[in-house]
Structure 1
Amino acid sequence: MALILCLETATTNCSVGIAKDGELLILKEDNSKNYSHAEKLHVFIKEAMLKAGVTANELDAVAVSKGPGSYTGLRIGVSSAKGLCYSLGIPLISVPTLDLLAYKLKGEKGLIVSMLDARRMEVYSAVYDSDINQLRDTEAQILEPSSFNIYLEKSKVHFIGNGVAKFEDICTHQNAVFHKEQYPSAKEMAAIAEYKYQKSDIEDVAYFEPYYLKDFIAG
């Protein structure tokens, strides 16, 4: 059982959570549609810890969204997490960003496709079953009307994330369900981080880098 600070900065949503034993105690987040994480993240961390009534020295670990996502957002989140882990001497836990989106729909009948906008008609995506077992590797892909037909022909498919709207515009399959304008959040990180902590599934603080998946994209 652990007290974990959770940081999510892979998209425009700057999200901070305090979790204890896998349960979220406090959530502080703001999605202003622009990347102001550099100004907000440390303020949110302080406010979240104050509201939770905990100090940094009480933390057992820091969990951070590892990507894919915004290059700038990921750098800010990971740098902050690593700095805290260094100074406090506690473990660093990384959580795939697309897993956080999928967890919002855990238990839904059918498959789940997490989808983050990667500019133009490109998205970062991954495919999961209803228990959030990943069925296909994370990819950066250019969307076409038939992009997910292999799954849509077999079952209902839930598409979730800020990249969903562009696929809805070109996909007319009756088995497609669209959950638009959903963003990864520290809220879904609590249970995943606790599980990883108990399994000692932690990162090397010195060498850990975000999972960018593709070359630099400003923003």
Structure 2
Amino acid sequence: MKILSIDTSTRGCSVAVHDSGALLASYDLFADKSSSAMLTSLMESAVKHAGATLADLDAIAVAKGPGSYTGLRVGVSTAKGLCYALDKPLLVINTLEAMAWQVIPFHSSDLLFCPMIDARRMEVYASIFDAEGKVVSPTEAVIVDENSFHSFLANGKVVFFGDGASKCIKVLGQNKNAVFLKADIRPSAMTVGALAKDAYAAGNFVNVASFEPYYLKDFMSPPAKKQPVSAS
């Protein structure tokens, strides 16, 4: 079971190839605006270094979001294009869930885990998982203040991580139950692919034609600059 996984949820892009859950190859590029320019090259390199061809793949997996509007659009469009061209099924994985599994295996079972993606200003995309990876609080856009996640922090320790967590330290860092990881945890195709193995086994494929990224919020373009009015 060979699966090519793609993640372009935030800055840069990430690809990986797994065979029955075993990682064969992975590439991560975190340069700004690298998704559309480098994604194709990274996919080709990953598949080649895995000792396979695109035709050998059994499925394509992609991080569905939340995250950057442009990044998600690039990743999902690329994944759908591959599925059409190769006649392969499409698997989609929640970006925050994949982030959580980068952290969960290395911590004790009495903790909760809150991956966060920066959503501008004091807003983050966040979800909370237990030590078994089960969703405790669903994915949502959260405006962080001193009362955020109060019900969870009142009952135990919560581990916060991701590029949205740093903005929360000032308002939540004084809480003894709020743990902020120093490690730079970013979305990665490696954990997308690991989760895709179970999704494939369960037959959780999505309709390639109708699937859209999980943007979570409507895309808002910046307001147009007002043009100076010339004197008549």
How far 1:218 moved relative to its partner?
A: 6.2
- With normalisation by structure 2, the TM-score equals 0.90
1:15 pairs with 2:14: yes
State the Cα deviation string for residues 144-190 of structure 1 (Å, max 9, x = none): 02201211111111011110000012111111111253111011122
Name the residue aligned to 1:6.
5
For residues 119-130 of structure 1, the aligned pairs below 5 Å read 119-130=120-131
Name the residue aligned to 1:199.
202
1:168 pairs with 2:169: yes
CA distance in 2, matches of 1:176, 1:28: 32
Aligned letter for 2:98? L
CA distance in 2, matches of 1:19, 1:187: 8
How far 1:112 moved relative to its partner?
A: 0.4
Aligned letter for 2:14? S
CA distance in 2, matches of 1:212, 1:168: 25
Name the residue aligned to 2:228.
none
CA distance in 2, matches of 1:161, 1:151: 18
Aligned identity (percent) is 42
CA distance in 2, matches of 1:204, 1:140: 26
State the Cα deviation string for residues 78-127 of structure 1 (Å, max 9, x = none): 00000000111110000000001111122423000111000000000101
- With normalisation by structure 1, the TM-score equals 0.96
Q: Which structure 1 segments of 5+ residues have no match?
A: none
Q: Which structure 2 segments of 5+ residues have no match?
A: 223-232
CA distance in 1, matches of 2:98, 2:151: 23
Name the residue aligned to 1:100.
98
CA distance in 2, matches of 1:148, 1:190: 29
How far 1:217 moved relative to its partner?
A: 5.0
The answer to whether the 8 A contact 1:144-1:170 is kept is: yes
Larger Rg: 2
CA distance in 2, matches of 1:128, 1:21: 25
Q: Name the SS for the 1:169 alignment partner.
A: helix
Name the residue aligned to 1:27.
26
CA distance in 1, matches of 2:30, 2:179: 24
Aligned letter for 2:197? E
Which moved further from structure 2: 144-153 or 112-121?
144-153
CA distance in 1, matches of 2:36, 2:60: 18
1:214 pairs with 2:214: no
RMSD: 1.3
The answer to whether the 8 A contact 1:105-1:130 is kept is: no
Which moved further from structure 2: 148-157 or 92-101?
148-157
Runs of 4 or more consecutive aligned structure 1 residues displaced over 2 Å after TM superposition: none
The answer to whether the 8 A contact 1:13-1:183 is kept is: no
Name the residue aligned to 1:50.
48
CA distance in 1, matches of 2:157, 2:220: 32
Name the residue aligned to 1:147.
148
User: CA, structure 1 residues 69+217, in 2 after alignment: closer, same or farther (shift >3 Å)?
Assistant: farther
